[in-house]
Structure 1
Amino acid sequence: MTLHSPFPADVSPVSPVVPTPVADGRMVYGMSIDGAIVPAAGGGVIESTDPVTGEVWATIPRGQPEDVDRAVMAAHRAFHNPEWRGLSASARGALLRKLADLVAQNGDWLAHVEMKDNGKLLAELNVQMKYLPNYYYYYGGLADKVQGATIPSDKPGVFNYTRYEPLGVVACIMPWNSPLPLMSFKLAPALAAGNTVVLKPSEFTSASTLEFVKLAELAGFPKGVINVVTGYGHEMGDALVSHPKVERIAFTGGPVAGQKINEAAARSMKRVTLELGGKSPNIIFDDADLDQAIKGAVAGIFAASGQTCVAGSRLLLQRSIHDQFVQRLIDFLGDVTFGHPSDPGTQIAPISTAPQMAKIEEYVAIAKGEGAKLVRGGCRASVEGYPNGLFYEPTIFTDVTNDMRIAQEEVFGPVLSIIPFDDEDDAVRIANDTIFGLAAGVWTQNLGRGVRMAERVRAGTVWVNNYRSTSITSPFGGFGHSGIGREGGITGIMEYLELKSVWLSTAVDIPNPFIRR
């Protein structure tokens, strides 16, 4: 079985994973349940389309609730199986580090598969895949360093200590914009903590997850510890979120879906981690290094075609520099290059999905209707050689007020709203006037101002004189409607553990049993 059809001849897995079948030039994927590659119970499939060419390049199973039940029950059995439950924390860590090695060896392959699915720049994906092993190295190293405590009790005759224990089955639901990094934010700490997992990637971008899970099998994870189900959220989501054997839901996606998941999980007292996007302010003061701030503004909204949860989609400019900065920004984008995401010269890759393209076009129309002034873009881009590609021009609106929908609702595309402000207080007022609070940027050469703004802006991450810097060592999450909980860092593993208090009697004789000690 070869893998030549959708990829260049020199692009293939490095490790001897089970090859994915190719039929009629399309990759044919199965779900991974209990260590076996299986079709959907109902036999349905979903076609995966390359956003650059508009052509179908793969099919994935269209799962149903019964597939969810099969996967969850497999994970439940694996959780209680001594083959997994009997492993020491150090042994779990060793498995994660072995997985990290395999991910490092296959980074080029995973990058190409993800590019085919969501159209992200291969240059950025290569960076992401080179970093991806660090998720598993980090949590592999942390697995045996989660410690309880001995508590100096004020009760005589007892010894009190605490211990952390895994929850059980964790359901991880990922979006389409960065499937493997956002999956790893969840999977690595969940496994390090000793849980078992059911992964549900987006129906638009399931292929890279299905390739990744083969590496976990090679690493030696027991059957059922990691399972992958694929399909439409509206057909499988309720079954996954409400399943009685699922203990925690880890979700990255839109706020509407996140709210529904939170409500459904609450009915069965499930724990949740929700990262739900934002409307992040990127604030530029008149004392900033404007050359660097221009780059920060571009990185904040036009990198990845604006399809990032931390997109700096509200650019707040101090009035004294507003006009010159807008012109410099337009000039900077004048020679922006569209093209195939595998081309090193391409700067702007396509929008990942047709529904997302329609959403962007809708919001551009809304902004015009609200009275915002379009000063750049606002239309699809025509790219030679790719007439069916989902390319969209970097789009800039001025004359935006913060009460407009374009300033309050997440577009998730290359659409920038520019809002002027007068001083620090005004900038803070505008920045915080939103239901979201995921990220923010501040550009100033005044160190005191940078510290003050970082304290006053309500956001889970604040960058000062940079934008989009992240690390597995640092917690990530949001305020308000941007989510619940944190991913990354030591905090990340604690989300997947239960704290237990243990009381040991050291007394020779138990006192009066009718009186609480």
Structure 2
Amino acid sequence: MTAAALTRPAAPPGPVGLLIGSDRITATSAGTHEHLYPATGAPNTTVALASAVEIDLAVTEAARAQREWVALTVDRRRDLLIDLADVVGEHLDELAALNVHDYGVPVSYAGTALLLERFLRHYAGYVDKPHGLSTPVHGSFDVNLVEREPYGVVGVIAPWNGALAVAGSCVAPALAAGNAVVFKPSDLAPLAALRFGELCLEAGLPAGLVNVVPAGPDGGDALVRHPGIRKIHFTGGGTTARAVIRSAATNLTPVVAELGGKSANIVFDDADLDAAAMLSAHQGPLMQSGQSCACASRLLVHDSVYDAFTERFLAVVGAAKVGDPFDPTVGFGPVINEAAVDRILGAVGEAVDGRAGELLTGGHRIGAELADGYYVEPTVLGNVDNSSNLAQLETFGPVVSIIRFSDEAEAVRLANDTPYGLNAFMHTRDLRRAHGVARRLEAGSVWINTFSDMAPQGPYGGYKQSGFGRTGGLDGLNEFLQIKNVRIAMG
């Protein structure tokens, strides 16, 4: 593993304000959060946090803007979303840099800005397409219409590791469906989301249609409990999701939840081992330092190729360049904060001490010139017990377990033996096996001989404790539309 020296362009000067309507609000009763740059641990900027007061103001502004939005013709709304995609496309480098500031993701992996643009273009095309249908009614000549209408104001809650991805997969379809949005990014990573809100204004969207309100737990709870919020889309962890659902129950507000995963990555004996090792390393410990719900953190490898694959996999992991996230040649960056370092290393230490697996590489904090940042070595453990905490609990860091299997049935059993079901991966050249195994895997998405390359055309979401509801595709649009039946008597 090689290291790159640290550099850092200037972050936005603080305090960075909330975006409500067309105003930046820097003075709130919730105060400010000191944002730390994960690569150095040094202060980056200060960010204003929303309290219940600002949440109420944002919902009021959104309700006014939503009425203005749906009063526009569908052609005009479509064109404005296309204009927004154009503006985002013109600011991809800026948004990518803000992503790096937000959570230290290497700029080489900061492609969520491009994903945002793609989602905007995709859903702009749905604005002027029919969303309803008509059906015959038994024993009658009545006209029976089934229509889809916007909820009004929706709340979108994003995690720190993917605000722009959530803006694309959730805010874009919400707007296309005719809603206004109160968008709450994490206080740990709010900068790219706030800039997206500004770009909405620059593109000509009505002020207040997209309000961006970084907030801590109290502000998030105020958003979920607000009676003016008609639906919540939450992306994050299971513990927080339970709190969100309990709070949303106050007003019986429906919730969509895209949660975590403990994804299995199956390497069969007929796989291209070089390609599988490369894809598995990047889908596992390297991409976003493993801080992704889509992280393939459980590698299931056939006995006959276990040693050959593991050798290749460790070689790819060991060749990763670690260091300055702003260096486009760097492929591995820091984790989000000091607490994450402690949690990740604690999970590895527990596994090693409990003999749940054999430590093959990593397992320590990276020191020297990177010591002040939150860098954890890419960590791989072999011959891991699938029933161990390491294999069952989401580590959310650069840690991968390698587990042996002897046949297809055992691979499927091990893959499904987890409370999660967001993604599954497999590597095989056998088309019949690919289809057959995919149908038996308990996961919302199955990726075969590839990585989790999200596209706006495909629905994305989980089984089991990985959540419910979908983003992407027509299913993702329908999450932001409610159904109305209209029947007209004809005689």
Class of the TM-score when normalised by the shorter of the 2 chains: over 0.9
Q: State whether residues 47 and 58 of structure 1, in contact with CA within 8 Å, keep that contact through their aligned partners in structure 2.
A: yes
Q: Aligned pair 1:92/2:77, yes or no?
A: yes
| Residue in structure 1 matched with residue 31 of structure 2 by the alignment | 44
| Residue in structure 2 matched with residue 145 of structure 1 by the alignment | 129
Q: Aligned pair 1:193/2:196, yes or no?
A: no
Query: Which sections of structure 2, spanning at least 5 residues, go unmatched?
Result: 1-6
Q: Distance in 2 between matches of 1:265 and 1:313?
A: 32
| Residue in structure 1 matched with residue 104 of structure 2 by the alignment | 119
Q: Aligned pair 1:129/2:116, yes or no?
A: no
Amino acid in structure 2 at the alignment position of 1:382: G
Q: Distance in 2 between matches of 1:337 and 1:182?
A: 28
User: CA 1:332–1:88 in structure 2 vs 1: closer, same or farther (change >3 Å)?
Assistant: same
The match for 2:200 among 216, 226, 234 is 216
| Residue in structure 2 matched with residue 511 of structure 1 by the alignment | none
SS at match of 1:152: strand
Query: Cα offset for 1:330?
Result: 2.0
Q: Distance in 1 between matches of 2:339 and 2:171?
A: 28
SS at match of 2:294: coil
SS at match of 2:113: helix
1:274-307 superposed Cα distances (whole Å, 9 cap, x missing partner): 1101000000011111111111210221222111
Q: Pairwise mapping of residues 145-294 of structure 1 onto structure 2 (< 5 A)?
A: 145-232=129-216, 234-294=217-277
Q: State whether residues 317 and 419 of structure 1, in contact with CA within 8 Å, keep that contact through their aligned partners in structure 2.
A: yes
Amino acid in structure 2 at the alignment position of 1:292: A
The match for 2:56 among 62, 69, 75 is 69
| Residue in structure 2 matched with residue 56 of structure 1 by the alignment | 43
Query: Cα offset for 1:317?
Result: 0.8
1:325-355 superposed Cα distances (whole Å, 9 cap, x missing partner): 2223223333322110111221211112222
Query: Cα offset for 1:131?
Result: 3.5
Query: Cα offset for 1:7?
Result: 6.3
Q: State whether residues 323 and 332 of structure 2, in contact with CA within 8 Å, keep that contact through their aligned partners in structure 1.
A: yes
Q: Aligned pair 1:29/2:16, yes or no?
A: yes
Q: State whether residues 108 and 331 of structure 2, in contact with CA within 8 Å, keep that contact through their aligned partners in structure 1.
A: no
Q: Pairwise mapping of residues 94-493 of structure 1 onto structure 2 (< 5 A)?
A: 94-125=79-110, 127-232=111-216, 234-302=217-285, 303-371=287-355, 372-384=357-369, 386-493=370-477
Q: State whether residues 421 and 442 of structure 2, in contact with CA within 8 Å, keep that contact through their aligned partners in structure 1.
A: yes
TM (normalized to structure 1)? 0.90
Q: State whether residues 99 and 136 of structure 1, in contact with CA within 8 Å, keep that contact through their aligned partners in structure 2.
A: yes
Query: Cα offset for 1:92?
Result: 1.5
Q: Distance in 1 between matches of 2:394 and 2:166?
A: 19
Q: State whether residues 117 and 168 of structure 2, in contact with CA within 8 Å, keep that contact through their aligned partners in structure 1.
A: no
Once the two structures are overlaid, the 10-residue window that deviates more, 243-252 or 35-44, is: 35-44
Query: Cα offset for 1:8?
Result: 4.3
Amino acid in structure 2 at the alignment position of 1:432: N
Query: Cα offset for 1:186?
Result: 0.7
Moved over 6 A (4+): none
Q: State whether residues 146 and 164 of structure 1, in contact with CA within 8 Å, keep that contact through their aligned partners in structure 2.
A: no
CA RMSD, 1 decimal: 1.7
Amino acid in structure 2 at the alignment position of 1:135: F
| Residue in structure 1 matched with residue 3 of structure 2 by the alignment | none
Q: Distance in 2 between matches of 1:484 and 1:122?
A: 31
Query: Which sections of structure 1, spanning at least 5 residues, go unmatched?
Result: 1-5, 12-19, 508-517
1:170-227 superposed Cα distances (whole Å, 9 cap, x missing partner): 1000011121112221100000001111011011101111111111111111122111
Amino acid in structure 2 at the alignment position of 1:91: R
User: CA 1:131–1:231 in structure 2 vs 1: closer, same or farther (change >3 Å)?
Assistant: closer
| Residue in structure 2 matched with residue 3 of structure 1 by the alignment | none
Once the two structures are overlaid, the 10-residue window that deviates more, 100-109 or 59-68, is: 59-68
Q: Distance in 1 between matches of 2:155 and 2:133?
A: 29
TM (normalized to structure 2)? 0.95
Q: Distance in 2 between matches of 1:484 and 1:453?
A: 22
SS at match of 1:455: helix
Q: Distance in 2 between matches of 1:190 and 1:335?
A: 42
Query: Cα offset for 1:43?
Result: 6.3
Q: Distance in 1 between matches of 2:112 and 2:428?
A: 29
SS at match of 1:333: helix
1:61-102 superposed Cα distances (whole Å, 9 cap, x missing partner): 1221222111112212322x3x22311222211111111111
Which protein is bigger by CA-based radius of gyration? 1
Q: Distance in 1 between matches of 2:138 and 2:203?
A: 47
Q: State whether residues 322 and 420 of structure 1, in contact with CA within 8 Å, keep that contact through their aligned partners in structure 2.
A: yes
Q: Distance in 2 between matches of 1:229 and 1:369?
A: 43
SS at match of 2:93: helix
User: CA 1:7–1:344 in structure 2 vs 1: closer, same or farther (change >3 Å)?
Assistant: closer
Once the two structures are overlaid, the 10-residue window that deviates more, 356-365 or 470-479, is: 356-365
Q: State whether residues 63 and 236 of structure 1, in contact with CA within 8 Å, keep that contact through their aligned partners in structure 2.
A: yes
Q: State whether residues 397 and 416 of structure 1, in contact with CA within 8 Å, keep that contact through their aligned partners in structure 2.
A: yes
Amino acid in structure 2 at the alignment position of 1:404: S
Q: Distance in 1 between matches of 2:371 and 2:297?
A: 28
Q: State whether residues 15 and 26 of structure 2, in contact with CA within 8 Å, keep that contact through their aligned partners in structure 1.
A: no
Q: State whether residues 299 and 402 of structure 2, in contact with CA within 8 Å, keep that contact through their aligned partners in structure 1.
A: yes
SS at match of 1:418: strand
Q: State whether residues 400 and 418 of structure 1, in contact with CA within 8 Å, keep that contact through their aligned partners in structure 2.
A: yes
Query: Cα offset for 1:237?
Result: 2.0
Q: Distance in 1 between matches of 2:70 and 2:269?
A: 58
1:24-50 superposed Cα distances (whole Å, 9 cap, x missing partner): xxx431101122111243161111111
SS at match of 2:451: coil
Q: State whether residues 40 and 64 of structure 1, in contact with CA within 8 Å, keep that contact through their aligned partners in structure 2.
A: no
Q: Distance in 2 between matches of 1:383 and 1:116?
A: 22
Q: Distance in 1 between matches of 2:385 and 2:166?
A: 33
Q: State whether residues 253 and 275 of structure 1, in contact with CA within 8 Å, keep that contact through their aligned partners in structure 2.
A: yes
User: CA 1:216–1:432 in structure 2 vs 1: closer, same or farther (change >3 Å)?
Assistant: same
User: CA 1:336–1:491 in structure 2 vs 1: closer, same or farther (change >3 Å)?
Assistant: same
Q: Distance in 1 between matches of 2:306 and 2:447?
A: 21
